[in-house]
Amino acid sequence: MTAACSRGLLAFAAIATSSTGCVTSVSPLIRPTISAKHMQQTVSFLATKEMRGRRVGSPENARAAEWIARQFSDLGLSPAVEGSFFHEFPYGRLKGRNVAGIVEATGVDGSGKAAEFVVVAAHLDGVGDVHRPAADDNASGVAALIEIARAVVAMRSTLRRNVVFVAFDAEEVGLVGSTRFVLDEIILSEDTRFTIVFDMIGGKFFPWQQKTGIAMGTEHSDYIRSIVERLRLNRATPIELLGTYVLEPAEPLLARSDYRAYRKAEIPYVFFSTGTPWYYHMAQDSIDRVDFQQSEEIATFALDLLLEIACNACEIDFIKRPKPGVLDLVQLHRILEELLQHQTEIQLPERKFTQIGKMKQALASSIANKKASRILAQRGPDADLRSRPTLRAEVSAALFAKG
């Protein structure tokens, strides 16, 4: 029954009880679609040279926040911060501003507001100068945020949980905006059941890659993982699963995006990304590199997941320290294999490819023995160039030279 809510099948409005005993709703409407054209319009506004990278505290950043607030208002979201769309917080001598709006659930029978919340988020700020437009990082995520808000407003009558949409500020300077939003209890953590975070969904980790999305964080909830596993079947853009810890050699000290505050509060989350591209924080992170069809398909997947959670009253578990998974090693093994297949395009010293080859062998051995190792998984990113800045810089230089 929940699948009907998320996939938008034609049905009469109804209430049903699933085999697990939780209450689910069925939508009487066809789920609104996500529009690549609308997403492109958002990125085209946020990532122009005139917006100068949207650095926290800048006039361009303020302009971006005000523009997002207008989109929320025009779509019919209610202000989420005591009558305002803005949550201000100090950042040194400057002020940052998160932008938050809410779609209030009426329940399937229209009887009143739900007492629980689901959060959908993406950071609005960039690294901040005219030469680094920050199109994929993270205008693409904000585009998904706004498009999903448009769809959820149309599904309001089916919601059993309120849905909060928030564009975080000051992510690039240490995840400040999301941290303040959670600590200031703008939405009570004890009432927040689930979070979706977008950060870079329009790019490619390497230029030869096909369209792919990555969903991280499902290792923290068996319930969430079961839904993601089911929804990711037969997608035009494949959705791959990866443990968030794989990207964090120092674990929480090196969290990669705004999911950190929610994980710390023990709130289940899924972090959607296409990985740190080879043009990360560079001038080449421009509108022409954003794959809007890929972005649309990832946002559509996220909307399906969101509605599975927001249209029902099922309990959601949280696993504080999940065990490493063999699937994570499989994903890393595949990435290393791709690197070795494209040696002529990367042109790194032979000794570094030797290192990558040894890591690939170690991963293969663990996969064969079905023994996942957290340490091995976290070393994998060093070999596949995700976490070691000197290697990533060399790869970027080689690819730029070819481009």
**How does DSSP assign 206-265, residue by residue?**
STTPPS-EEEE-GGG-HHHHHHHHHHTTT-SS-EEEE-GGGG-TTGGGG--STTHHHHHT
Q: How many residues does this entry show for the chain?
A: 403
Q: Which helix (H) or strand (E) holds 146?
A: helix 140-154
- pLDDT recorded at residue 26: 47
Which alpha helices (DSSP H) does 251-325 contain, by range? 260-264, 292-310
The CA-based angle 23-216-389, given to 5 degrees, is: 165
Beta bridge partners of 17: 23
Q: What pLDDT, on the 0 to 100 scale, is given for residue 250?
A: 56
Helices in 342-388 by DSSP H: which ranges? 343-346, 350-368, 374-383
First to last CA, the chain: 49
pLDDT at residue 109 in the model = 54
Written as six digits, the tokens of 116 are: 């629980």
The C-alpha atoms of residue 149 and residue 301 are separated, in whole angstroms, by 14
List the domain boundaries for the chain: 33-310, 326-402
How does DSSP classify residue 132? B
Q: Is the peptide bond before 138 cis (omega within 30 degrees of 0)?
A: yes
pLDDT of residue 400: 61
What predicted TM-score, i.e. pTM, was given to this entire model?
0.90
Residue showing tokens 């959908």: 120
Phi, psi of 180 (to 5 degrees): -65, -40
- Tokens representing 149 are 């808000």
Closest CA to 122 of 108, 103, 107, 136: 136
- At 8 the pLDDT is 37
Q: Kindly give the parts of the chain with pLDDT less than 50.
A: 1-17, 19, 26-28, 389
Q: How far apart are CA 268 and CA 308, in angstroms?
A: 14
200 torsion bin: left (phi>0), alpha (psi -120 to 50), beta (else): left
Long-range contacts from 246-251, C-beta under 8 angstroms, 24+ separation? 246/328, 246/332, 246/377, 246/378, 246/380, 246/381, 247/216, 247/381, 247/386, 247/387, 248/378, 249/378, 249/379, 249/381, 249/382, 249/387
Residues forming a β-bridge with 196: 120, 270
Asked if 172 contacts 132 with a C-beta cutoff of 8 angstroms, the reply is: no
* pLDDT for position 4: 37
C-alpha dihedral sign at 18, 21, 22, 23: positive
pLDDT at 390: 52
Greatest alpha-carbon pair distance for the chain in Å reads: 67
CB atoms within 10 A of CB 189: 16
What superfamily in CATH does domain 33-310 come from?
A: Zn peptidases (3.40.630.10)
Tokens of 80: 């989420």
Centre a 10 Å sphere on the Cβ of residue 190 and count the other Cβ atoms it contains.
10
Distance, in Å, from the CA atom of 139 to the CA atom of 147, rounded to the nearest integer, reads 12
Write the CA distances from 233 to 240, 277, 317, integer angstroms.
10, 25, 23
What is the number of H-type helices and E-type strands within the chain? 13, 11
Q: How many CB atoms are closer than 10 A to CB 207?
A: 15
pLDDT of residue 1: 37
Burial environment of residue 104 by CB neighbours within 10 A (0 to 12, 13 to 18, 19 or more):
middle
Let me know if 14 is exposed, middle or buried by CB neighbors in 10 A (0-12, 13-18, 19+). middle
